[in-house]
Structure 1
């Protein structure tokens, strides 16, 4: 799966690369493509990103110069999406090595972001943000379509540890939102403890995902969340398992 820097060029890149589009700004190629040799790679016209992984950033829409914090951002697919959509992006991750790859992708695509190497559980921002995207660390069981071994390496202890970390990150992120701000939470996990069981942060209100916001063939839950799994869109190659929820800062009433 490729995400395009310029979504208006779907027809061009789908034709030139021999792929199909399953969503705005997306092209899916046949398996086995050597991406570094494909047209458009060196000029930064696109980057590799599973379709499911592209959904969280899509839910924030056009940035129009507003500020967004991409937490746990490396290797950077969502940062690139947000920058291409007109957000002023701050990308934070504690892995310097993974951030190096993010910076390489920014350079290749010509997109810009403020890159911060820090632990989100200790870092304090100097400003509030209009939006925060938290693609939280998780057991990654949703990637079993591409990495089936993950299902044999994960047990209850790892799931519980990741769920606790996610809750801590959510609690911190909530306090960094400006009035009216939006928080998108996502994990590439199939485990309910790392998705549906994560309680909405205090002081945030649900901002349900609408049916028209998801790629064709995907439907939000009754709660307004989105749950994908490798069996969905099987006729066109499937996609990773993800959980995505969206909340907003509420206004106090008297």
Structure 2
């Protein structure tokens, strides 16, 4: 997002609130949305413990309507995903997730991207991320929404924004980390989690 001071940001699928807290700490006015009352309660507890404040809403992100039709400077989607990027720490993922699960999740993710486009002000920023290795949940989901006349365009992440980790940037300027990245940095765990992030701008 860059400098978020005094910017309004909707954090969809926000609980338990780690990213919400970081955004609030950086000066953003955040509305945190999650469909689980228990998870929103946990998010509120976490913010209180950190002496931070954010607006909250218990709602399905796909159906949520902000008060008075408010539009946001930014929307964050840390989307529900197959979590295959965590396989080095959670090897059971390979047995728990089926191909059909990935297809179903990818369909929801595309709908979430389309919904997010409707919540942004012109010139607003959408950050979409998943901890998945599957292109259906990353590159393909973003390509789909860009092709759907959603009013979104890609805002490539620059080399100066990734602290010299050029290997994690895709040709399109998205972020794609793999378990093989930085494998030398931690011989016990062997690299990074798999992760994908894209930055899009509303025209």
Tell me if 1:109 matches 2:57.
Answer: no
Tell me if 1:140 matches 2:83.
Answer: yes
CA contact (8 A) 1:190 1:229 kept: yes
Tell me if 1:183 matches 2:132.
Answer: no
TM-score by length of structure 1 reads: 0.72
2:71 aligns with 128
Corresponding residue pairs, total = 191
CA distance in 2, matches of 1:223, 1:70: 24
Q: Pick from 10, 13, 17 the counterpart of residue 76 of structure 1.
A: 17
CA contact (8 A) 1:68 1:88 kept: yes
CA distance in 2, matches of 1:65, 1:162: 33
CA contact (8 A) 2:86 2:194 kept: yes
User: For the pair shown, which has the larger CA radius of gyration, 1 or 2?
Assistant: 1
Q: Pick from 126, 135, 138 the counterpart of residue 192 of structure 1.
A: 135
Tell me if 1:249 matches 2:196.
Answer: no
Report the CA distance shift for 1:215/1:152 in structure 2 as closer, same or farther (over 3 A). farther
Tell me if 1:97 matches 2:38.
Answer: yes
2:153 aligns with 205
2:175 aligns with 226
CA contact (8 A) 2:75 2:127 kept: yes
| Gaps in structure 1 of 5+ consecutive residues | 1-59
1:152-182 deviation digits (Å, cap 9, x = unpaired) = 1111100000000001111111011011101
CA contact (8 A) 1:75 1:99 kept: yes
| Gaps in structure 2 of 5+ consecutive residues | none
CA contact (8 A) 1:208 1:223 kept: yes
* C-alpha RMSD over aligned residues: 1.3
1:161 aligns with 104
Using the TM superposition, give the Cα deviation of residue 215 of structure 1 relative to its aligned residue in structure 2, in angstroms.
Answer: 4.2
Higher relative contact order (CA 8 A, sep 6+): 2
CA contact (8 A) 2:36 2:58 kept: yes
CA contact (8 A) 1:79 1:89 kept: yes
2:184 aligns with 235
